[in-house]
């Protein structure tokens, strides 16, 4: 899948220049001439990186950056802010908005391309880390379910097998106690599922000593 870059600038020359320059590097370039249109495109296209001017009509780069960083689906999008402002205070303000990088106009196109490439590498690393964390979370959930549910489920299965053998024999009188045991372990499983569905603050504990795999702590203890 081609890497998608959103360029937002009210200067048609800069939009055209960056489109040609980035397209030549095989990037998929999407254009907007103000922050309002840029936000709509970002929400629809989900770009890997955004290059935006600061001073624009309808919605300036300041508000645009804030809206991007407050959007759950876009907040990790690498954001490069372009501006004619060159004071340290302006740069600090740009970074406080959530911008990941800052370039002063007029900019050197080679430097901008280099910064875009750096931003894309950072984005790739973030995606790989998120994927690892997601896979690790799934593993830990599977370990939790396997560990916590396997024991009562195993007891239930063995008890049912024993109950089947007792049917029609002198030991049939023991069946009520076996049923009670099965219900107890069934309730244990139901309680585990309930806690899994209602955890407000997830707590973990090591699954095995010296292992980097954890499991959810469902004991309810602080």
* Domain assignment of residue 130, yes or no: no
Annotate 30-51 with b (16+ C-beta within 10 A) or e (fewer).
bbbbbbbbbbebbeeeebbbbb
Task: Flag whether 14 is in a domain.
Answer: yes
Whether residue 57 lies inside any domain: the answer is: yes
Q: Is residue 120 part of a domain?
A: no
Confidence of residue 208 (pLDDT cuts 50, 70, 90): very low
Q: What is the structure's pLDDT at 27? A: 92
Number of domains in the chain: 2
For the chain, what percent of residues have pLDDT higher than 90?
A: 18
200 with 140, same domain? Answer: yes
How far is Cα 106 from Cα 221, in angstroms, rounded to an integer? 60
Choose between 170 and 142: higher pLDDT. Answer: 170
Same domain for 141 and 65: no
pLDDT tens, 67-113? Answer: 888 888 888 888 988 887 666 666 676 667 777 888 888 878 888 88
- Looking at the fold, whether 189 and 98 belong to one and the same domain comes out as no
Residue 194 within a domain: yes
For residues 139 and 93, membership in a common domain is answered with no
Residues 101 and 152 in one domain: no
Length of the chain: 222
Considering the domain architecture, whether residues 166 and 212 belong to the same structural domain is answered as yes
2 in helix, strand or coil?
A: coil
* Residue 77, SS3 per DSSP: coil
Is residue 113, in this structure, part of any structural domain at all?
Answer: no
CA torsion sign for 96, 43, 127, 212 is positive
pLDDT given for residue 44 in this prediction = 92
CATH at residue 55:
3.40.50.2300
Which range is least confidently modeled, 16-30, 63-77, 136-150, 201-215? 201-215
Same domain, 79 and 150: no
Q: Quick one: 30 and 74 in the same domain? A: yes
Return the pLDDT at 124.
78
Q: How confident is the model at residue 58 (pLDDT cuts 50, 70, 90)?
A: confident
Q: What is the mean pLDDT of residues 192-204?
A: 59
Highest mean pLDDT among 61-65, 102-106, 154-158: 61-65
Specify the pairing of strand 204-206 against strand 214-216: antiparallel
Query: Domain check: are 86 and 161 in the same one?
Result: no
Q: Show the domain range for 89.
A: 4-107
- Looking at the fold, whether 9 and 102 belong to one and the same domain comes out as yes
My answer on whether 15 and 97 are in the same domain is yes
Same domain, 95 and 158: no
Which position has the higher pLDDT, 152 or 30?
Answer: 30
């Amino acid at each position: 899948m081609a890497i998608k870059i959103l360029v937002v600038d009210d200067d048609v020359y800069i939009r055209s220049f960056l489109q040609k320059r980035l397209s030549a590097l095989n990037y998929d370039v999407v254009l907007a001439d103000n922050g309002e249109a840029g936000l709509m495109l970002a929400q629809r296209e989900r770009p890997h990186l955004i290059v935006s001017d600061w001073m624009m009509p309808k919605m300036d780069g300041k508000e645009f950056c804030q809206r991007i960083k407050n959007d759950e689906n876009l907040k990790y999008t690498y954001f490069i802010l372009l501006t004619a402002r060159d004071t340290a205070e302006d740069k600090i303000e740009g970074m406080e908005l959530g911008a990941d990088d800052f370039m002063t106009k007029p900019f050197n196109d080679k430097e901008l391309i280099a910064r875009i490439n750096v931003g894309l590498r950072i984005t790739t690393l973030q995606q790989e880390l998120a994927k690892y964390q997601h896979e690790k979370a799934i593993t830990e959930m599977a370990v939790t379910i396997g560990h916590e549910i396997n024991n009562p489920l195993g007891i239930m299965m063995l008890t049912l097998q024993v109950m089947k053998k007792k049917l029609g024999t002198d030991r049939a009188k023991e069946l009520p106690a076996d049923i009670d045991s099965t219900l107890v372990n069934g309730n244990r499983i139901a309680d585990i599922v309930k806690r899994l569905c209602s955890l407000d603050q997830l707590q973990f504990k090591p699954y095995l000593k010296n292992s980097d795999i954890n499991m959810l702590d469902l004991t309810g203890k602080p």
